[in-house]
Amino acid sequence: MSGAWDGIEEFVSVARASSFTGAARSFGASVTHMSRSVSRLEARLGSQLFHRTTRSLSLTEAGRHFFETGSRLIAERDDAIAAMTASSSPRGHLRITCSYTLGEQFIGPILRGYAQEYPEIAITCDLDNDVVDLIRDGYDLAIRTGHLEDSRLVATRVASRAMATVASPAYLAEHGVPLRIGDLKAHACLMGSNSLWQFARGETFRPEGRWKANSGIMVLEAALEGMGLCQLPRFYAAPHLRSGALREVLSAECPEDEPIWAVYPRPKHLSPKVSTLVERLRSELQGRLNGEDLPSSPLTG
C-alpha cells in the first residue's frame, strides 16, 4: 500500500495483537517494518496511537477511535473488491464468533462443509458466550439469539430455538411434578446465564437454587444427576428426552421460539464470503437443531 493507506493495516494488526512482534508474525513482515509504519502513520495523523512501555502496549483514546475507523475502512475495501468478483467462488479470511455449545455442536459442522466446498476460504471461529464488538474486533459474522440492539449491524434470521423445562425422572419422583409456573418456587432450580425463565404469554419466573453455571452443559449434567429442574434450549435436552433420561415439565407453558440471527456489520452484505455462508446457515441450521444429521453429543457418547 502507498499514499493515504500507508501504515493503516500495520496499525490495525498491531492493535489486534497488542504486540508489534505478534502483529509482525501474522502480517508477514519484520518488527522494524511494523514499528516504522505505525510511527509514520502517527506523524501523519499528528496523534499518538499507542501508549508504549518496555512491558506493555495499549491504545490511546485517539488510537481506539482510529482503530474502529481503520478496521472498517479495511473491511469495506476488501468487501468492495470481493463484490466486484461476486461471480467467482467465495474467498478470503472469514472470522466468525458464536457461543460455545451452538458453535461446537451445530455451527462447526456447517463451517466444515462450507470450507470443504470453497477451498479458497480460510475460517477462524472464536467461541465466546459474551457478546463481542464485531466492528472493533474485526469479525465478519456472529451467530446470536434473542433481542439485538447494535444499529450498526445487519441481522438475518437463520433459525429459531425452542426452550424446554426439564428434570430427571428420579428428581420428579422424589419432589413431585410442577403443574403450574408458581409450583417452581417449591423446587430446586438449576440456573444458567439467564436470570429469568421464560414461559407462554410473556410470563417469567426467577429461579432460585444452589447450582448456577454459565455453561449449559454443566446445568444439563446437574439435571441428569437429579439435582433439580432447569430451563435450557431444547437442543441441549433433546437426546435425553428421547432416551428417557430427562422429562419435560410445563410443556403447555413453553414460550415462543427464540430467533437465531446471523449478524454482520452493514457493509458485509456485499461480501460473497458472508452472503454465501448466511444462506448456508439458513438452509442447514434449523434441521440440525431439530435433530437432523446431528453430530454426537458429548453427553451421549
- Kindly report the number of other CB atoms within 10 A of residue 218's CB atom: 14
Distances (CA, A) of 145 to 125, 132, 285: 17, 13, 13
pTM for the full model?
0.67
Residue 5 CA from chain centroid, whole number? 31
**How long is the chain?**
301
Q: What is the pLDDT along the chain (301 residues), one digit of tens a residue?
A: 446 678 898 999 899 888 999 888 878 889 999 999 999 999 999 999 999 988 889 999 999 989 888 887 877 776 666 666 555 678 888 999 999 889 999 999 999 999 999 998 999 999 988 888 887 788 889 999 887 777 778 889 999 999 999 999 999 999 999 999 999 999 999 999 889 999 999 999 999 999 999 889 999 999 999 999 999 999 999 999 999 999 999 999 999 999 999 998 876 556 788 889 999 999 999 999 988 654 444 443 3
